[in-house]
Structure 1
Amino acid sequence: MSRLKLLRCTVCNKVLFTNVEAWYRAEQAVLRRYVGRLAASRGVPQSILDPDDVVQDVFEALEIALWSVNNPAGWLRTVAKRRVARAHGKMRRSSADSADEYLVTGRAVLWSSLVDPDPDIEELLSAQLVWELIARLPNRQRQAVYLEYVAGMPRSAIAERLGIAAATVGVHAFRALRALREALFSNQDAVDEEAEAIKRALTPWRPAEFADWGATWWAWTWCPCWSGLPEKTEITHLMR
């Protein structure tokens, strides 16, 4: 059995914080302020998104992904930004006139994912969900909402193509948007869970920090008396 040799600060001689704990001690206050500012800029109230909850979730995710992350500081902000964007998206989906935005956005995300080597998983799954939901709509609703909001046809041209009145096209499109909005909102939690499962599956496995795996290992280390970010330090294992 092996144990990790305790690393001490060269300034104060206290035992250093290591790995995720090091990043949490150094970055959690900064990240909380960042999330608060970002949420406020997007009009997301704390009743919908609590910065403390976001920080907790982000650091739990870092604990899983740390071994494959080269820049934890940037990674933390990127994931936190996605959490804010997700909350903003849920808030928009609850408004009656937002579903049309997701039709256009969904198409753009699907196209960009073909060339993006690292697409946003949540956005991609949401975009796929949009098209699945469109396929389940009644025929006239599906035709009206697709031709108007995806193909960009004016209602007069849609009415001529479908052989119905322009006002009827508007009724079908309104009902389709309402159904899509409700379905998107009710399915978003499942999308989020699926995205997290995919991320976990894609995260390369690494042996645990305290495993007996060679004579040396590395850890991110940090002490409150430091002014900078955590440092990546080589450490040793002592055999019992």
Structure 2
Amino acid sequence: MANILLVEDDPDINAAFRLALSQRGHSVAGCFLGGEGVALATEVPGPDLVVLDLMLPDLDGREVCRRIRAVSQIPIIMMTARGDDADVVLGLESGADDYVVKPVEPYLLDARIRALLRRSSLPVAPAGESDVVTSGALRLDRKSLVTSINGEAVPLTATETRLLLELSKHPGQVRSREQLLRDVWGTDYLNESRMVDASIQRLRSKVERDPSQPKIIATVRGFGYRFDLQ
């Protein structure tokens, strides 16, 4: 199914997940240190997806994620021992596409891997939609799926591109978190509103001049988010 890199420092958990995911059709390489994970994730050709533990002995998982994101948009699932909002949001804001809370059953991890791989296959804009959407300095080409600011390409993950596409399809209209979860992530994520909030924050950090005072992706308190044309 896919080439997976598992970065997990516990030898028993590492071995168990490698075996379980291999039995589900994946090719799995494992390592125990964050630095090694960065090197393996960014080599060419690299894996299709990274499963990354939050707590590692050499580098914090968030730092590993940031280093990978500096050079690659490869899909990343963060594994955390706690489901606290702070841990999850910080993991997502560091660049992870998804997260699971340990202990996690292998079949659930496999399901999240497959869902993320499907989501990472970037969509083609439906016929009849405008090829280009602009808002201030932002330009989104729906055909090439290239986002740029003042003519300079902005590296977005597949999930961030899907989110921007979905918002820009409804300019001036409020999209609720539930609508965005359904249309960007899928029905399996309908109770994961923090996934939307963290992804919006990361997207703003890339496309807004001042993310603390967004002009393109506005928050409508109590309802959701709105894409504004300028």
Above 0.5 in TM-score? no
TM-score (normalizing by structure 1)? 0.26
Which protein is richer in helix relative to its size?
1
Q: Kindly name which structure, 1 or 2, has the bigger radius of gyration based on alpha carbons.
A: 1
TM-score (normalizing by structure 2)? 0.27
Greater relative contact order, per chain length (Cα 8 Å cut-off, separation 6+): 1
Which protein is richer in strand relative to its size?
2
